[in-house]
Amino acid sequence: MSLSVRKRAKKGPKSLVKGKATRDAVVARALEIACKEGLAAITIGRLAKELRMSKSGLFAHFRSKETLELTTVEWAREIFEQHVLLPSGSVPEGLERLWKLCDSWLEHLEERVFPGAYFFTGAFFVCAGQRGAVSRSIVQVMEEWMRALKQAVKQAQKNEEIDPEADTSWTAFEVNGLLLGAYWAHSMGKWWAWEDGRTTILRKLQSLATKEVPSKAFDSVGAFRKYLKKRSG
């Protein structure tokens, strides 16, 4: 191995680490901007100025605004999956998983996992019906979320926990609507919206529940959690 190759081998890993750190810093700031102002607010020029980089240096990492936007959406998707979708896999399918999905969705807003307003809600309303890779990527995340809700409802019906006559898809949309309502309420200054949102979800589940689920389980959010814990324990 020549001296020049050895030098490159030594510098290579450090260069890669530095390059990844720079790229991550750019995407992190892009995500923060998108969460507060929307994807349209992300520009190469703005990011270069805020991160004290040259436009050409930043452009070298992404090559286009679309690539930067897609990378930002992918980051947001990973965050959403980690904090909302993946935790539901730790509980049994059916009613318990449906509750876990809703609870985790509200929890990730409570904990401000995203550095601003909920990323996908605003982005979905902007991108739904539009063409392009970025719009498709955002819509796909929302489709994945709705599939998770629908599958949980469907399994709860198979488990005889939810009325089999209930429309599976529409029930999932109704639950999603209640979650969005809680988010809107909180955004309009109702600081208690998260707990009220959970109570509203609980009442919806109670209206759909079969006799397999004891009525006392719906006395409160705490009672429902105790019921699920006891059942799975």
**pLDDT per residue over 122-176, tens digit each?**
777 777 777 889 889 988 999 999 999 999 999 999 999 999 999 999 999 999 9
- pLDDT in the model for residue 17: 41
Is pLDDT of 63 > 70? yes
Average pLDDT over residues 13-29: 70
Contact criterion met (CB below 8 Å) for 161 and 205 = no
CA dihedral 40, 42, 45, 47 (to 10 degrees): 170
CA dihedral 135, 140, 145, 150 (to 10 degrees): 120
- pLDDT in the model for residue 15: 42
Is pLDDT of 212 > 90? yes
- pLDDT in the model for residue 51: 87
Contact criterion met (CB below 8 Å) for 202 and 179 = no
Burial (Cβ within 10 Å: 0-12, 13-18, ≥19) of residue 41:
exposed
* Rounded-to-integer distance, Cα 161 and Cα 42, Å: 45
- pLDDT in the model for residue 233: 67
- pLDDT in the model for residue 65: 86
Helix ranges (H only) for the chain are: 3-37, 44-50, 55-62, 65-80, 86-88, 95-110, 119-127, 133-158, 168-187, 193-208, 221-232
Average pLDDT over residues 91-111: 95
Mean pLDDT of the chain: 87
* Rounded-to-integer distance, Cα 37 and Cα 232, Å: 42
Q: Which has more confidence, 210 or 1?
A: 210
Label residue 114 by pLDDT band (50, 70, 90). Answer: confident
pLDDT in tens, 33-55: 988 888 888 888 898 888 888 88
Percent of the chain, pLDDT > 90?
Answer: 56
- pLDDT in the model for residue 43: 87
* Rounded-to-integer distance, Cα 230 and Cα 233, Å: 5
Is pLDDT of 58 > 70? yes
* Rounded-to-integer distance, Cα 102 and Cα 84, Å: 8
- Joined together, the tokens standing for residue 128 give 């739904």
∠ Cα 91 93 98 (to 5°): 85
Domains of the chain in sequence order: 66-232 (1.10.357.10)
* Rounded-to-integer distance, Cα 231 and Cα 211, Å: 15
- pLDDT in the model for residue 9: 38
**Helices 221-232 and 193-208, axial angle in degrees (round to 10):** 60
Is pLDDT of 199 > 50? yes
